[in-house]
Amino acid sequence: MNIEEYKSFDATGLANLVKKGEVTAIELLELAMSIVNNSEKKISALTTQAFDYGKKEIEKEKKDGYFYGVPFMLKDLNVSCKDLPTTMSNSLFENNIPNYDSDLIRLYKKSGLIIVGMTKTPELALSLTTEPNLHGPTRNPLNLKNSPGGSSGGSAAAIVAGYVPMAHATDGGGSIRVPASLCGLVGLKPSRGRITAGPQMGEALGSMATSHCLSKSVRDTAALLEISKEQSVGDPYCAPNNHENFLEYVGKDLGKLKIGFMTTDFEGNKICESIKKYTLKTAKLCEDLGHTVEEFEINLNPMPIHQAWKVIPAVNLLYNMQKRADFLGIQLKGSHLEELNWAWLEEGRRYKAVDYLNAINTMHAIGRRVSQEFVKFDLLLTPTIVKEKLELGTIKTNHCDIDAHLNYLFRDFAPHLAIFNQTGGPAISLPLWKIDHDLPLGMHFAAKIGDEGKLISLASQFEQMVSWKIN
């Protein structure tokens, strides 16, 4: 197998070749290492290269699992992989090397995935671009002047550059789905409680954040979801329908779905005409597939729809940084964070317990209101982002204006995504369109909690319709 052949396969395709004996796990690892050596200097997608670690995994006796032999990378955030640093792109965590595997990492290893690196995130994952001061910006391989998005931008860039066919990612406000749109990938945010955060956490960002992956194919996304859905002892949430085999939804016809689509944001503002055009074209594709579509609008005013994403991250940031400083025996100071994140941490100091509880309750109130639409509709369609591209340097952290930062992320750039972190329902970005200079544009579908199966079924219909080039 040569490099171009390796790049053309999804993870399932590579795993099938290993099972047939047409290629070995070590050959795949060496191909991945060669691509990283040739491309990483210009792409800068990784915080840690771990090919020696991967070789040791291959040398172990166990040589089975659905994905055995496939190179895989972890987002450098909120997971622990024994002996690999989890830095979260912050200097205080540079020597944070766990001595155990998170439960999710244990499931990945059980499936046969070979971990060969950690991918870059913005500092503490508090942005929708991946440009941390500590490690420098990650560039979008499709256009090096552009960002791959964030906060899972390192994982997205690693896939598009051909390092790996699939990579771990997390999503607390669009961080899987934004990179999926900007990089032409499949990006599913699972339901609240579907993926364990154990044993070190019960939840992340007040249950808004979850792990899953970015991938090149629907079958990879579905297979990894099936592998990852195992609950851990003590998990505070369990998503409905966990008995289902999500891989069986690939290619499964669920009949006529009723799909509602939006051409406004959740505050009643119209989206720009260029993005609206592709949303309407996607609605027409849904009709061509035999589904029923209907335009609808949810205006959540006067509910403070971004309150949760201001208060909860501030308190989480303060907690995580103070815990780390206490562990290191140091006093927290402004130089330990980027300017914007320090201001956010300081804001966290000013909040009272009642402010945090109010943010949680507002989040759930929004979730209940939006979820009422799933009484009428099976799925909701929106654009993933409302910009055609994201140039590096557009989203900055060298200022203290938290409101301006959040307004850009969740009003000007990606107004439809964080709402579904608050509802807890699954949502997926699909690479349905090519726009200016052949850049991808994702479309976004959301479902009620537990309905990943419907998203996977529809996604596989689209995959066949638009002929994603995957072996």
For 354-381, what is each residue's pLDDT tens digit? 999 999 999 999 999 999 999 999 999 9
Q: Work out the average pLDDT over 275-303.
A: 96
Angle formed at CA 270 by CA 269 and CA 272, multiple of 5 degrees: 130
Confidence of residue 212 (pLDDT cuts 50, 70, 90): very high
Higher pLDDT, 191 or 62: 191
Q: Work out the average pLDDT over 250-261.
A: 97
Confidence of residue 178 (pLDDT cuts 50, 70, 90): very high
Residue 471, pLDDT above cutoff 50: no
**CATH number for region 3-304+357-466:** 3.90.1300.10
Contact 44, 71 (CB under 8 A): no
Give 16-50 pLDDT, tens digit per residue. Answer: 999 999 999 999 999 999 999 999 999 999 999 99
Residue 61, pLDDT above cutoff 80: no
Give 64-97 pLDDT, tens digit per residue. Answer: 899 999 999 999 998 999 999 999 999 999 999 9
Q: Work out the average pLDDT over 325-331.
A: 98
Confidence of residue 344 (pLDDT cuts 50, 70, 90): very high
Contact 287, 293 (CB under 8 A): yes
Give 392-413 pLDDT, tens digit per residue. Answer: 999 999 999 999 999 999 999 9
Selection from 264, 358, 257, 259 nearest residue 304 by Cα: 358
Q: What is the pLDDT of residue 466?
A: 87
Cα 312 to its chain centre, rounded Å, is: 19
Q: Work out the average pLDDT over 213-239.
A: 96
Higher pLDDT, 242 or 364: 364
383-to-24, 280, 415, 432, 458 alpha-carbon distances in Å: 40, 10, 9, 11, 16
Q: What is the pLDDT of residue 468?
A: 64
Q: What is the pLDDT of residue 469?
A: 57
Residue 140, pLDDT above cutoff 90: yes
Please give the Cα distance from 192 to 273 (Å, whole number). 33
The whole-chain average pLDDT of the chain stands at: 96
Q: What percent of the chain clears pLDDT 70, i.e. is strictly above it?
A: 99
Please give the Cα distance from 53 to 153 (Å, whole number). 23
Residue 450, pLDDT above cutoff 90: yes
